[in-house]
Chain A
Amino acid sequence: NAGVTQTPKFRVLKTGQSMTLLCAQDMNHEYMYWYRQDPGMGLRLIHYSVGEGTTAKGEVPDGYNVSRLKKQNFLLGLESAAPSQTSVYFCASSRRRRTGTSVSTDTQYFGPGTRLTVL
């Protein structure tokens, strides 16, 4: 059981280049998330998905796109990288927990991160 994995671990891009970060989870979780972590700012949500084929914007979505074609994978794309996107990117997943007729929250499990530098 690998949990949440991310590829690649490190990447250096030039301004204007594109790339895709891959997140995979083997826990059959419904929800998946992409965060970026910058010094002194904690983690900020970029995009998230509540199920296969669905995505939604988080706090800082500009400049990023995502896709969830398979339940276990969540891709984060940068179409035209900018130096402001230099950051550490974390993927997370969680299950959808139901309490009676309502949906409630559950623990998020994180991947090891991808360190991206845009020159």
Chain B
Amino acid sequence: AQSVTQLGSHVSVSEGALVLLRCNYSSSVPPYLFWYVQYPNQGLQLLLKYTSAATLVKGINGFEAEFKKSETSFHLTKPSAHMSDAAEYFCATADNFNKFYFGSGTKLNVKP
């Protein structure tokens, strides 16, 4: 069965510092991988997705993620954190029938 694991339920960074949110996937076939962001009291918004076209995927708001098959990872990064990045981030994988499997989420706190 496909699944993703997010390491760290809470991550705290200072404004301007590097953001690194970790996600490892488990899949027996080349995966579809996604990062979603959820702001308080809102639904999920797509940040970026990997569909095997390129290993480095750029998303909205300056985020990017790199697919590393050897490490079964799809970590999300942003070079410089902004206060508006404070939110909960979800990694997800999907099968060919569009069933999604979400990680447990990582709450990002950005300190001034």
Contact = CB atoms under 8 A, between A and B. Distances in A.
Contacts of B94: 105
B17 to A, nearest CB: 25
Interface centre among A35, A109, A110 (most CB of B within 10 A): A110
Contact of B97 (A42, A50, A90): A50
Given A40-B9, A42-B105, A43-B90, A108 B43 contact: no
Interface in A78-119: 90, 92, 94, 96, 102-113
Interface in B14-43: 32, 34, 36, 41-43
Contacts of A33: 100
A106 B105 CA distance: 21
B43 A105 contact: no
Contacts of A102: 96
A113 B97 contact: no
B98 A94 contact: yes
Q: Is the interface of A mostly helix, strand, loop or mixed?
A: strand
A92 B100 CA distance: 11
Given A41-B104, A42-B105, A94-B98, A107 B49 contact: yes
A74 interface: no
Contacts of A104: 32, 96
Interface residues of B, number: 23
B80 interface: no
Given A90-B44, A105-B32, A107-B46, A48 B99 contact: yes
A100 B90 CA distance: 30
B35 to A, nearest CB: 11
Nearest to A97: B98
B96 A43 contact: no
Contacts of B36: 110
Interface of B: 9, 32, 34, 36, 41-46, 49, 90, 94-100, 102-105
9 contacts: A35-B102, A41-B104, A42-B90, A42-B103, A103-B96, A105-B32, A105-B97, A107-B34, A110-B43
Top 5 A-B pairs ranked by shortest CB distance? A110-B43, A42-B102, A105-B94, A43-B102, A42-B104
